[in-house]
Amino acid sequence: MIYYILANPHAGHGHGKVVTHTLTDYLSQKNIPFHLFETQQPLDEAPLIAKILTLKTGADRLLIIGGDGTISLSLNALPADEVFSYIPAGSGNDFARGLGISRQESATLATFDAIHSGQAQEIYVISYSSDKLSGIATNNIGIGLDAAIVDAANKSRLKAVLNRFKLGQLSYLISALHVLFTKKAFAIQANGRRFDKAFIFTVTKHPYFGGGIPLAPDASLKTPELHLVTISRFNLFKTFLLIPKLLKGTHFENDHVDLLINKHFTLTATSTQPVQIDGEIKTFLAGQTLEISTEKRTIIY
């Protein structure tokens, strides 16, 4: 059995490189055969997965190392029946949080040992399609505040400057505050139910978004149900008071917060809105319909 490792050395501001070296040193020491494929630039994940699939046999294993972007891009390139393993090395690592995999660098070898002796388990990821977009998402799909924040941060000239000083997170905080004050509520339908003043509108398969915020505390990758969390725009002061509750996962106590649980959601936008799919920004056009359901994947961890 050979481990085919796809690693993003850039994940977690270079944390991916450290985790990969720690693991490959260990594999060499233990005489466990492996082939390492490191991404050299953005979007290298899909061609490297394709290359690995031409080399690997059914007895071999695929191990992905990186953050949420790496696992999302990799699984989008991986056929649904291919088994994979994952060691987190990003900054947010929400998918790893959802699976209960330790995100500590010191846990890398223990995580690998669990993989090496582990059994295949089924999980469900998000599957989405519309006339313009289709794919799978390992974290969440948001049409609202989260998408507007990522969109604003990506467009911000400040982000490039702050990134140079490894202060990229600060640009998200500044964009978040700006969007919180300026983003207007929008109307959207989910499974025929109309939401007139949507502000946060996020479908998730596990509890976390934004690097550990427990948006849907009871969501699970182990079941086929999707959780749609909606927060309506109301008085700005009260919206601010909701932030600590959101950080603690107690926001459902609030009347403006709703949770819909279903295996399938059909979303129809009334106005054109940015949508974030695992942190990547796309556009959800007015009148467009987005079908969201789940797809089974097999992981050893």
**Which residue has 């079941």 as its token pair?**
223
Query: How many residues belong to the chain?
Result: 301
| Nearest residue to 93 via CA among 72, 117, 114 | 72
For residue 66, state whether it binds ligand ATP (rule: CB under 6 A).
Answer: yes
Cβ–Cβ under 8 Å, residues 293 and 136:
no
One of 17, 48, 92, 207 touching ligand ATP (CB under 6 A): 92
CA of 78: how far to CAs of 44, 47, 126, 141, 275, in Å?
13, 10, 14, 20, 23
Q: What's phi and psi for 178, nearest 5 deg?
A: -60, -45
Q: How far is the CB of 10 from ligand ATP (least distance, A)?
A: 4
By C-beta, is 89 or 219 nearer to ligand ATP? 89
| Nearest residue to 284 via CA among 115, 148, 82, 111 | 148
| The two three-digit tokens of residue 232, written as one number | 């309506």
Stretch that binds ligand ATP, among 60-68, 173-181, 214-222, 259-267 (CB under 6 A): 60-68
Q: How far is the CB of 123 from ligand ATP (least distance, A)?
A: 17
CA distance 10 to 252: 37
One of 42, 47, 212, 287 touching ligand ATP (CB under 6 A): 42
Stretch that binds ligand ATP, among 33-41, 140-148, 245-253, 262-270 (CB under 6 A): 33-41
φ/ψ region of 14 (left if φ > 0, alpha if ψ in -120 to 50, else beta) reads left
Size of the site for ligand ATP (CB under 6 A): 22
For residue 142, state whether it binds ligand ATP (rule: CB under 6 A).
Answer: no
| The two three-digit tokens of residue 140, written as one number | 């969440």
Stretch that binds ligand ATP, among 6-14, 29-37, 50-58, 240-248 (CB under 6 A): 6-14
By C-beta, is 198 or 277 nearer to ligand ATP? 277
For residue 10, state whether it binds ligand ATP (rule: CB under 6 A).
Answer: yes
Of all residues in the shown chain, the one whose CB is closest to ligand ATP is: 67
Question: Which parts of this chain interact with ligand ATP (CB under 6 A)?
Answer: 8-12, 39-45, 66-70, 73, 90-93
